[in-house]
């Protein structure tokens, strides 16, 4: 796929491309040809041009909207990724196959991407000149901190923390749920460097009236409307004041990549990744549960009671999703590996909202389970590595399953857990296939 | 779009002579009263892919639904590789004003969820209200090709 502007046909007359009339804003909504194609232009590219008064809308080639040019830049910011599965290119969303997550510390080029809007211009240019973080709302002393102030005025911490999209596993729900169809790869565990959110909030002085945070970034909305916010979610103030909720500027010792929130983002381990606001420029401390875009409706919300698959649940019965469920991934061997030995070494990672206490593996479709070796986490909310040697009884086809259990005694279900309208929280057992020779 | 999944459901449902239950406004009551026309059988066999390459991909989404391209339909590379049928161009141009065609082409939703998304995009996401005729055409196309019901 190539979306570069310069590769598009450019020789056509400004007002006529492929024989079709494209209206400019000077022409208003008038089009020369009646009929279906006119409708298409009026509803699509031309409507965008006139509604938003995009300069020179008439020069945009057919099929390439103003947003499409921005899209090409987003894909430039994506180019360093290594073998990710691209689910969407506008907005950019991509996940990582399980065997590509084998590293103990997820490299930046293997970390999934979940964008709600476009990558902002400052990030594409990797230019943080003048960047500030505002902390306001229910605080005694509102702050406006430069990056240098953040880095010098607070204790700098480095933690390895799981980041996982709330919709990871959505693809397995039937009937389907709207949103990116993540299978298992919207997760990673890089090392993050920054400051504790609580240190910054305490410097501002959190008032007793504070109940929630609201996080803001500057990623442009897909509609192109500069007044619209792509996403603004938040967390309960108690979670914001936890030791491991961070404001970070570095991943694996380097500046955040453009597509991951340069120069600043939040990381809220144990919570859905949507609370980890990219391109962070404001934390608004609220006296009510935050009501920014994608806090309400069905976004990152679960039914208050179990529902049958496909149920239309009233919006008022949806509650905000908080902690993520216990989960594991087999990262070696890759699924589909042929000619493995009868003595098979498997390994992977397990994580939860807190610690994982055990991981079990099975080679016979869950009829028998064998406890794997499980390492302690490097720090709280870091994923834990497991390994096991499985003796396969004879040559043939096997599925290897992995199942983690957390400190609360919760274990992964073998099939999808409760269906919900947006397909969140699927922590079903991970399965891979191998042929033993 | 013809799927063994949906036809199997319909065959079973009609074979046992179960009529669709009337919709209730109370979602709790509805969830407690299973609608055989709409509720997938949790023990539904994985249809249509015996001994296929899927056999080495046990995590392939079940039911040939999300992410699995519809088979037996011509596609248009000029329009996001979407299935060619009535409503394709209207859908392509209207939707890609803001986001890629992949945004919707990867989904398999109920009719009600498609209706909801249309309203949500107008109310929350700054989509222009294209009017009833466009709504009927575009939602008809989406429900035909990107459905969990057929």
Query: What are the structure tokens assigned to A2, written together?
Result: 């190539």
Task: Mark yes or no for CB contact A89/B98 under 8 Å.
Answer: no
For residue A323, whether the previous peptide bond is cis, meaning omega lies within 30 degrees of 0, is: no
Task: Mark yes or no for CB contact B93/A40 under 8 Å.
Answer: yes
Residue A12: inside a domain: no
- The pLDDT value recorded for residue A52 is 41
Are A167 and A270 within one domain? Answer: yes
Mean pLDDT by 10 residues, chain A (437 residues): 35 33 35 42 43 40 48 88 94 96 98 97 96 98 98 98 97 91 96 98 98 98 94 98 98 98 98 98 98 97 94 96 97 90 96 96 97 97 98 94 97 94 96 91
- The pLDDT value recorded for residue A339 is 79
CA separation for the pair B142, A429 (Å, rounded) = 32
Question: Number of structural domains, chain A?
Answer: 2
- The pLDDT value recorded for residue B13 is 39
Please state the pTM of the whole predicted model: 0.82
Q: How far is A337 from chain B (nearest CA, A)?
A: 8
Q: Is the dihedral of CA A171, A97, A435, A344 positive or negative?
A: negative
Are A367 and A407 within one domain? Answer: yes
Q: Which residues pair with A193 in a beta bridge?
A: A158, A250
- The pLDDT value recorded for residue B40 is 58
Closest partner CB to A171 (pick from B67, B90, B113): B67
Say how many CB pairs under 8 Å bridge A and B: 161
Are A214 and A166 within one domain? Answer: yes
Query: Which tens digit of pLDDT belongs to each residue from A68-95?
Result: 566 678 999 999 999 999 999 999 999 9
Task: Mark yes or no for CB contact A36/B148 under 8 Å.
Answer: no
- The pLDDT value recorded for residue A317 is 97
Are A278 and A370 within one domain? Answer: no
**For an interface test with A, which of B3, B42, B58 has the most A Cβ atoms less than 10 Å from its Cβ?**
B58
- Please report, for the domain that includes residue A382, its CATH number: 2.60.40.650
Are A315 and A209 within one domain? Answer: yes
- The pLDDT value recorded for residue A321 is 96
Are A89 and A192 within one domain? Answer: yes
Q: Which residues lie below 8 Å from residue A258, measured CB to CB, with a gap of 6+?
A: A77, A119, A123, A124, A126
Are A246 and A358 within one domain? Answer: no
Closest partner CB to B40 (pick from A174, A293, A435): A174
- Please report, for the domain that includes residue A224, its CATH number: 3.90.420.10
**Which of A291, A320, A349 corresponds to the end of one domain?**
A320
Are A292 and A245 within one domain? Answer: yes
- The pLDDT value recorded for residue B133 is 95
Give the DSSP H or E segment for A153.
helix A147-153
pLDDT one digit per residue (tens) for chain B, 150 residues: 444 444 444 444 344 433 333 334 444 544 455 655 555 556 554 443 333 334 456 776 644 444 456 678 899 989 989 999 999 999 999 999 999 999 999 999 999 999 999 999 999 999 999 999 999 999 999 999 999 888
CB A350 within 8 A of CB A321: no
Are A336 and A262 within one domain? Answer: no
A305: domain range? 78-320
Closest partner CB to A336 (pick from B42, B57, B112): B57
B75-145 in CATH: which number?
Answer: 1.10.760
Residue A22: inside a domain: no
Q: How far is A203 from chain B (nearest CA, A)?
A: 35
- Helix then strand count (H, E) for chain B reads 6, 2
Closest partner CB to B109 (pick from A48, A176, A317): A176
Sorted by where each begins, the domain ranges of chain B are: 4-64, 75-145
- The pLDDT value recorded for residue A43 is 47
- Strand stretches in A294-429, DSSP E: 301-303, 318-320, 327-332, 337-340, 343-351, 356-362, 370-371, 373-374, 384-391, 396-406
CA angle B144, A183, A390 (to 5 degrees): 140
Residue A9: inside a domain: no
Torsion of CA B29, B30, B36, B39, to 10 degrees: -120
**Which of A270, A305, A320 corresponds to the end of one domain?**
A320
Q: Is the dihedral of CA A295, A296, A300, A305 positive or negative?
A: positive
With H, G, I as helix, E, B as strand and everything else as coil, classify residue A350: strand
**For an interface test with A, which of B61, B92, B117, B132 has the most A Cβ atoms less than 10 Å from its Cβ?**
B61
């Amino acid at each position: 796929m190539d979306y570069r502007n310069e590769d598009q046909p450019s020789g056509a007359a400004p007002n006529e491309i492929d024989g079709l009339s494209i209206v400019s804003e000077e022409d208003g909504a008038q089009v020369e040809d009646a009929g279906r194609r006119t409708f298409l232009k009026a509803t699509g590219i031309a409507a965008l041009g006139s509604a938003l008064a995009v300069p020179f809308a008439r020069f945009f080639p057919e099929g390439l909207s103003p947003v499409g040019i921005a899209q090409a830049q987003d894909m430039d910011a994506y180019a360093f990724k290594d073998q990710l599965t691209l689910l969407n290119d506008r907005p950019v969303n991509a996940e990582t196959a399980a065997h590509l997550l084998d590293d103990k510390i997820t490299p930046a080029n293997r970390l999934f991407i979940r964008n709600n809007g476009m990558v902002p211009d400052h990030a594409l240019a990797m230019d943080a000149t003048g960047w500030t973080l505002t902390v306001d709302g229910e605080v005694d002393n509102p702050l406006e901190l430069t990056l240098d102030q953040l880095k010098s005025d607070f204790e700098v911490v480095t933690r390895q923390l799981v980041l996982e999209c709330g919709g990871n596993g959505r693809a397995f729900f039937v009937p389907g749920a709207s949103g990116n169809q993540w299978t298992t790869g919207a997760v990673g565990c890089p090392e993050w460097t920054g400051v504790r959110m609580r240190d910054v909030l305490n410097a501002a002085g959190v008032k007793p009236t504070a109940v929630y945070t609201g996080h803001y970034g500057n990623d442009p909305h897909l509609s192109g409307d500069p007044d619209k916010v792509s996403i603004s979610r938040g967390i309960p103030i108690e979670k914001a004041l936890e030791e491991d909720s961070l404001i970070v500027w570095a991943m694996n010792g380097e500046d955040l990549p453009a597509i991951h929130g340069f120069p600043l983002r939040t990381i809220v381990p144990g919570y859905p990744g949507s609370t980890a606001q990219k391109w962070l420029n404001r934390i608004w401390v609220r006296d009510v549960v935050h009501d920014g875009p994608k806090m309400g409706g069905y976004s990152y919300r679960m039914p208050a009671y179990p529902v049958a698959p496909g149920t239309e649940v009233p919006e008022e019965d949806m509650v905000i999703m908080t902690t993520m469920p216990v989960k594991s991934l087999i990262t070696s061997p890759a699924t589909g590996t042929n000619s493995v030995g009868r003595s098979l070494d498997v390994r992977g990672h397990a994580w939860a909202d807190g610690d994982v206490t055990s991981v079990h593996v099975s080679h016979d479709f869950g009829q028998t389970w064998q406890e794997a070796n499980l390492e302690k986490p490097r720090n709280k909310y870091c994923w834990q590595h497991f390994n096991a040697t499985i003796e396969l009884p004879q040559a043939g086809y096997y599925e290897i399953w992995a199942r983690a259990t957390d400190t609360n005694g919760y274990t992964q279900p073998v099939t999808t857990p409760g269906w919900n309208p947006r397909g969140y929280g699927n922590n079903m057992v991970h399965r891979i296939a191998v042929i033993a020779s | 779009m013809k799927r063994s999944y949906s036809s199997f459901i319909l065959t079973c449902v009609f074979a046992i002579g179960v009529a669709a239950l009337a919709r209730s406004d109370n979602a709790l009551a509805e969830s407690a009263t299973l609608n055989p026309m709409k509720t997938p059988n949790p023990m539904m066999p994985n249809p249509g892919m015996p001994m296929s390459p899927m056999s080495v991909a046990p995590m392939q989404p079940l039911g040939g639904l999300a992410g699995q391209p519809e088979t037996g339909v011509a596609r248009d590379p000029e329009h996001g590789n979407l299935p060619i049928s009535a409503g394709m161009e209207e859908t392509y141009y209207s939707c890609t004003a803001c986001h890629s065609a992949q945004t919707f082409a990867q989904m398999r939703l109920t009719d009600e969820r498609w209706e909801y998304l249309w309203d949500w995009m107008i109310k929350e996401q700054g989509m222009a209200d294209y009017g009833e005729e466009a709504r009927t055409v575009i939602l008809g196309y989406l429900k035909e090709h990107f459905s969990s019901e057929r």
